[in-house]
């Protein structure tokens, strides 16, 4: 698998219409004990985009993901996802709407195999009842075969098949992060939220993870919003970048636009120009 780069002359092609927004945040504000974490934040994420959230530590990036998937309730603002508006999301509603999430800290079941961990991402797609599953009756057996087949497809796509039956706790950190991505993708989300999916990885592991994220976006059509501190990775795989600083949006555009924005340079380098 590889990350595709478009080297064609954009000026030689007719301009494509902009993709509709899958996610729109309008006037989102959030505080903790009087401390403002997010202030009047608005932006759109187009269907099929890879949107990166960047900014210094404490800029409000993880808090924003927590608002999108319902961990936190915003004080003000509206979330619009897949043509439906929400004053607030909750985790159950987000999962059923088609939003999947990974977190900074690995949240896998360490004693369970890679397959069993990925299968937990298929829970919303099961057709058998808990009673049928508990006693192995009715639709349970056919359902189990189907869910394992779906999980195996994701495991194979992320080059984890040789670790399929290995307990997750026996894997390296980089592989565990990949299993987390597989579990999230197994849910077949419309929107995938990734909170520092490459944190703690070496350069080779980062490149591999970036490739898997880009391929999931291209092959599965999943829209991605990710937090990442490696600006090289961000500029390589993103189609859209939003820059936060102290809970405010200071820039919003393509990687090329962000790279040249004076406000971004000031936030990162402490310069006026």
Task: State residue 144's pLDDT score.
Answer: 67
| Tens-level pLDDT at each residue, the chain (273 residues) | 443 444 344 444 444 456 789 999 999 999 998 788 999 999 999 999 999 999 888 889 999 999 999 999 999 999 999 989 888 788 888 888 999 999 887 888 899 999 999 999 887 655 555 545 654 655 656 566 777 888 999 999 999 999 999 999 999 999 999 999 999 999 999 999 999 999 889 889 999 999 999 999 998 899 999 999 888 899 999 999 999 998 999 999 999 999 888 888 777 655 554
Question: What's the CA gap between 253 and 271, in Å, rounded?
Answer: 20
Domain 18-98+189-273 part of CATH 3.40.50.300: yes
Question: What's the CA gap between 51 and 252, in Å, rounded?
Answer: 10
Q: Is 145 exposed, middle or buried (0-12, 13-18, 19+ CB in 10 A)?
A: exposed
Task: State residue 100's pLDDT score.
Answer: 94
Q: Which residues of 221-244 are buried (b: 16+ CB within 10 A; e: fewer)?
A: ebbbbbbbebbebbbebbbbbbbb
Give domain limits for the chain: 18-98+189-273, 109-186
């Amino acid at each position: 698998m590889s990350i595709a780069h478009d080297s064609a002359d954009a000026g030689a092609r007719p301009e494509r219409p902009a993709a509709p927004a899958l996610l729109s945040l309008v006037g989102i504000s959030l505080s903790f004990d009087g401390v403002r974490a997010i202030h009047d934040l608005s932006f759109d994420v187009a269907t099929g985009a890879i949107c990166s959230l960047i900014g210094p530590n404490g800029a409000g990036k993880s808090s924003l993901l927590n608002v999108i998937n319902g961990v936190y309730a915003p004080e003000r603002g509206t979330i619009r996802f897949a043509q439906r508006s929400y004053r607030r999301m909750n985790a159950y509603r987000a999962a059923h709407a088609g939003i999947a999430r990974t977190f900074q800290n690995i949240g896998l079941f360490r004693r369970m195999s890679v397959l069993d961990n990925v299968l937990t991402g298929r829970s919303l797609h099961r057709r058998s009842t808990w009673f049928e599953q508990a006693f192995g009756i009715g639709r349970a057996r056919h359902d189990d075969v189907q869910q394992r087949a779906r999980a195996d497809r994701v495991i194979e796509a992320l080059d984890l098949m040789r670790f399929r039956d290995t307990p997750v706790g026996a894997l390296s950190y980089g592989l565990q992060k990949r299993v987390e991505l597989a579990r999230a993708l197994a849910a077949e989300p419309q929107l995938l939220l990734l909170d520092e999916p490459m944190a703690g990885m070496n350069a080779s592991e980062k490149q591999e993870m970036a490739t898997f994220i880009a391929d999931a976006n291209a092959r599965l059509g999943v829209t991605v919003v990710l937090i990442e501190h490696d600006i090289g990775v961000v500029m390589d795989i993103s189609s859209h970048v939003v820059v936060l600083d102290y809970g405010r949006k200071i820039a919003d555009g393509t990687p090329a636009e962000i790279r040249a924005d004076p406000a971004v340079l000031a936030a990162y380098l402490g310069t006026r120009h």
